[in-house]
Amino acid sequence: MNADTIRRLGRVAVLMGGTSSERAVSLDSGSNVLDALRTKGVDALAVDGIPALIDAIRAGSVDRVFNVLHGSHGGGEDGVLQGLLSALGVPCTGSNVLGSALSMDKIRSKQVWQALGLPTPAYRRIAIGDDVVAAARDLGLPVIVKPACEGSSVGITRVFEEGDLQAAIELAASYPGELLMEQLVVGDEYTVGILGRDALPSIRIVPAGAYYDYHAKYVAEDTQYLCPGLDGEAEAAMRALALQAFEALGCSGWGRVDLMRDRHGANWLLEANTAPGMTSHSLVPKAARATGLDFASLCLRIVADTVADREGA
């Protein structure tokens, strides 16, 4: 990246923290991105949350935003931030309003994918007071119960017995938004990073425990990440599906698509992420590194794309 491109970036606000349930992860991600951009010579500043960002924009000290707010309801992945910045004419990394809103809502993501014939596990939308036992029997145990609009495995329960359903519902209902009950796919967990119009090499995630939960994602040091996760045609097919699913939701810029691969070799879409983690455990940086793109160069590439997008518009 040449000096002229870095100069044209102007002052970059690295937006982190916020008030969502993923605040701690976002602060970690933001600190890493801030340091990386500064090592590349970018004039970057840390901004904690959307109200502080508005103040900085009003003060004239922000030219563009590198968004690493995670989640909704005070996070930056649900379209609210994107609408604000679009109205103010401030370029921002990642997806636009539509892509952000659709991908944050797991129910509506699945509705789009199903309408296009893309594979995603069967599900039921759950409202408080619904007969959750009937829903689970209809889907067939085991199932996963989770909030429809949270990330980082927050509020998720894997349910193998009907007697455990109520506790799972109560946990998921402690977070804002709708609830989702989904068939549990037995197999291996994968993720595919997206950078521009390209799908990065897949990563097969092998946690030491039974599941890739919050602890395995952000705390444990014994989770294995195999990249690429597949070979040959299987790898190409998974990457193509991930890119198709990402673009079907109106997503752009960069992000990540999470999938399961069942014991028969079929791929199942779980969710898309439009502001993925950028911590030491995060997956998009691992996939980018497999292509020869180090962390600092990845961060610079992501924010530099906002210059090209703006000029193209």
Q: Are strands 43-48 and 11-16 parallel, antiparallel or unpaired?
A: parallel
Which residue segment(s) compose the domain that 215 sits in? Answer: 103-119+186-290
Q: Is the pLDDT of residue 155 over 90?
A: no
Distances (CA, A) of 68 to 125, 228, 279: 29, 25, 11
Q: Is 63 a catalytic residue?
A: no
Q: Is 31 a catalytic residue?
A: no
Tell me what pLDDT residue 313 has.
41
Q: Is the pLDDT of residue 220 over 60?
A: no
Q: Which of 71, 190, 277, 305 is catalytic?
A: 277
Nearest to 112 by CA among 272, 273, 284: 272
Q: Is 211 a catalytic residue?
A: no
pLDDT class of 147 with cuts at 50, 70, 90:
confident
Q: Is 258 a catalytic residue?
A: yes
Domain-located, residue 46: yes
Q: Distance between CA 282 and CA 128 in Å, rounded?
A: 34
pLDDT class of 159 with cuts at 50, 70, 90:
very high
Least confident of 40-44, 181-185, 220-224, 227-231: 220-224
Q: Are residues 85 and 159 in the same domain?
A: no
Q: Is the pLDDT of residue 167 over 70?
A: yes
Q: Are residues 40 and 114 in the same domain?
A: no
Least confident of 71-85, 146-160, 254-268: 146-160
Domain-located, residue 43: yes
pLDDT digit string (tens) for 290-302?
A: 999 999 999 999 9
Q: Is the pLDDT of residue 286 over 60?
A: yes
Give strand pairing partners of 69: none
pLDDT digit string (tens) for 253-274?
A: 999 999 999 999 999 999 999 9
More confident residue, 289 or 155: 289
Tell me what pLDDT residue 173 has.
86
Q: Is 190 a catalytic residue?
A: no
Q: Which of 28, 77, 78, 258 is catalytic?
A: 258
Q: Distance between CA 109 and CA 90 in Å, rounded?
A: 27
Q: Are residues 108 and 212 in the same domain?
A: yes
Q: Is the pLDDT of residue 213 over 60?
A: no
User: Which CATH number is 83's domain given?
Assistant: 3.40.50.20
Q: Which of 17, 218, 267, 282 is catalytic?
A: 218
**Cis before residue 276, ω within 30 degrees of 0?**
no
Q: Is 22 a catalytic residue?
A: yes
Domain-located, residue 29: yes
Q: Which of 48, 273, 282, 305 is catalytic?
A: 273
Q: Is 247 a catalytic residue?
A: no
Q: Which of 26, 67, 152, 252 is catalytic?
A: 152
For residue 110, the Cα-to-chain-centroid distance in whole angstroms is 15
Q: Are residues 198 and 232 in the same domain?
A: yes
Q: Is the pLDDT of residue 142 over 70?
A: yes
Q: Which of 255, 256, 267, 305 is catalytic?
A: 256
Judged by DSSP in three states, 262 sits in: strand
Q: Are residues 209 and 245 in the same domain?
A: yes
What is the DSSP code string of 30-95?
A: HHHHHHHHHHTT-EEEEEESHHHHHHHHHTT--SEEEE---SSSSSSSSSHHHHHHHHHT--BSS-
Tell me what pLDDT residue 151 has.
60
pLDDT class of 233 with cuts at 50, 70, 90:
very high
- Which of 183, 212, 229 is the endpoint of a domain? 183
pLDDT class of 219 with cuts at 50, 70, 90:
low
Q: Is 189 a catalytic residue?
A: no
Domain-located, residue 298: no
Stretch (H or E) spanning 258: strand 254-262
Tell me what pLDDT residue 310 has.
47
Domain-located, residue 303: no
Q: Is the pLDDT of residue 312 over 50?
A: no
User: What DSSP state is assigned to residue 197?
Assistant: T
Q: How many domains does the chain have?
A: 3
Q: Are residues 17 and 86 in the same domain?
A: yes
